[in-house]
Structure 1
Amino acid sequence: MTYETIKVEIENSLCWIGLNRNAARNAINRDMCLEITDAMQKSVENTHVQVIIIHGNGSCFSAGGDLKSGIPNPSEEVLETIYKPMLLSVFNSVKPVICMVHAYAIGVASALAMSADFLFMSDDAYIKAPFIDLGLIPDGGLSWHLVNQIGRKKALEIIVSGENIYANDCAAMGIANRSIPKDELITKTQQWANLLATKAPLAIRHSKQSLNKSMELSLGEAISYEACLQNITMQSEDYREASLAFMEKREPLFRRK
């Protein structure tokens, strides 16, 4: 697939997926959804890629859904067939995904940002859920992310107010991992991505799997589910390599096996 709305760059073990509709403030249209989904799939399949970073080129991360072009309205069909596969490709990625937000992420773009495993924001950036002022409810899984990340009362406050929620508050509430000075955002994000790339890929994959599943389970069920996944990791070559590296006092060389 030739990309028209995003720009994909692979540097060493990092894949950078940049939203690239600058004239439209990176508004998310049908083509962008399809292209992000495709780029995510290719990144997961690429054995050289260890970490995926989603960011916005130009003046902002994204102004949200493009109601003027490509996606005519937030109908059930559009949400199910266009937005959902894109958002789940990020959330369910077996490789770690970082979202790097500068300026703002509005509406469904904030749901995209929260679908990533890690969210880094420049200290002047904000997220915004303006749905209620349009007579709509949050979509793209935004309600789910908010209630699971910050609780029902604070989630409803953000939804009803429609106010800008700035990076420092996002970090304090647990929506974002870090609020970073804007001139250091790229450098700090890349440093974290490089660190992730040195970790055991299978362990990261199954840690994500365990956390996602645990939100549906009781404590006892979660312990049993962890035990099942731990059995997989303990039989891996990565576990044997990590154990040997520890004994030999060196850094392990993981091979995803």
Structure 2
Amino acid sequence: MALPEAGACSRLLLRPRIVLFGDSITEFSFQENGWGASVAHRLARKCDVLNRGLSGYNTRWAKIVLPRLIYKESNAKNTIAVTVFFGANDSALKDVNPKQHVPLDEYADNLKSMIQYLKSVDIPEDKIILVTPPPLHEMTWEKECIAKGEKLNRFNSTTGEYANACVKVARDCGTDVIDLWTLMQKNNQGFSCYLLDGLHLSGEGNNFLANQLWSLLEQRTSTLPVQLPYWRDVDHLHPEASLLGESS
């Protein structure tokens, strides 16, 4: 039997979506036990969670490619949230890693530019969530650098300056922000458990971020319906009635 034409269906199923935009910490978020995968699992059959992470990217490059990834024709009005998660590469030391380094003032300006662009394609401030870079565990990351024949190319104190700039941009622009750098070091607690290699998130770090993000998304997504009936509720003798809303 031929499949029905799209126009014959009672309505197309257009799922709301959440877009995760960032660097490698976002790109890797759909790996096993990743924070993006965790959010996607919680919203299965309710909302599409799209991974738009770009490993190694800084805000200078992200600002350029953002209009190619999110635009009005891409159903921006159906977007529930966009995370903008950069800074781990921008904060690289200029004299050691000039390719990824972005000056602090430019980093802030780039974040503001991306927020303004998202607003121009009908994604307002209350749907934008900035995420600061996590803290850097210098001893562990230095081992990674040495293994590649390089010197330590980041400092946690410098990363903190970029995190603070991100928080200020969020405050000035009226967006939500998850200040990972501060939250993971709250009460002077050790934070190495949150990091796999000193820079990227471990399983515990992924879980930490997933919970922080979910605290912002839960209310926004709580009223989303589960799309299509549970399989036990499908009338197996007349499935069209259950799946297309057609009378038998």
For normalisation by structure 1, the TM-score amounts to 0.33
Higher relative contact order (CA 8 A, sep 6+): 2
For normalisation by structure 2, the TM-score amounts to 0.34
Larger Rg: 2
